Structure 1
C-alpha cells in the first residue's frame, strides 16, 4: 500500500513524522493514518510528498505497486533490486545533467 512506501521514503530522507506533517501541512494524526494505510492520501498530498522527495507522483505510485507485488509474491529481494535499478538510473541521469551544466 502507498502508505508503507510514503513512510519508508520519509524515513530514508530522514524526516521525523512531526516534521513531515508540518511540511505536508497536515496533522500528525492524519499523517499516521496515511502511513498506516488507514486513510488514502489525496492527489494533492501525494504531489506534496513528491515535491518534498524531489520525485514524480508516478514514481511514488510505481514504488508502491512494486512493493505490494513483492509482498504478495514473498520476494522482497526483487523489490530491492528494482529499487536499486531505479535509484541508479535516476542518479546517472542527474550526473549527466550535472556534467552537462559544468561543460
Structure 2
C-alpha cells in the first residue's frame, strides 16, 4: 500500500517524480518502481519522505502491510485504505479548484 500512499502524497504536493526523486536523493526510476509497487521503499527512503513532507514517519508506517491475515493487520489495511481515499478526494478537489481558477481569467482594460 506504500505505492498508493507515496504517490498520493507526491501528487497532492504537485511534484513530478523527477522533482521529488531529486529532493529526496533517489533515482526517478526507483521512485517510479515504488509508486508502481515493483519495489518496497527502504526505511531510509521513508525517512526522507517524512522529512520532505514534514509528517511523522509513523504516519507513513501505517501503510505497511506485514503478516496479513491477523485481525490487527486487516484493521490497519482497512484504515489505511480509508485514509488514502480521503487524501485522494482532497487532492482531487484542490486540483479541480485550481483548474477552475486558471480558466477564470480577469481582464482589466
TM tier, shorter chain? 0.5 to 0.7
List per-residue Cα deviations over 1:33-81 (Å, max 9, x = no partner): 011111000000000000011001110122x268842698xxx599529
* Bigger CA radius of gyration: 2
Structure 2: runs of 5 or more not aligned? 65-74, 91-109
1:6 aligns to 2:12 (yes or no): no
Match of 2:29 in 1: 29
Match of 1:69 among 75, 78, 81: 78
Distance 1:25 1:17 in 2: 12
Q: Which has the higher helix share?
A: 1
Q: Aligned residue for 2:45?
A: 45
Two-structure CA RMSD over aligned residues (Å): 3.2
Query: Residues of 1 paired with 2:86 and 2:7: CA distance?
Result: 16
| Consecutive unaligned residues in structure 1, runs of 5 or more | 85-103
TM, length-normalised to structure 1: 0.63
Instruction: Check whether the contact 2:3–2:34 (CA below 8 A) recurs between aligned residues.
Output: yes
Q: How many residue pairs get matched?
A: 79
1:4 is paired with a residue whose SS is helix
Normalising by structure 2, report the TM-score.
Answer: 0.60
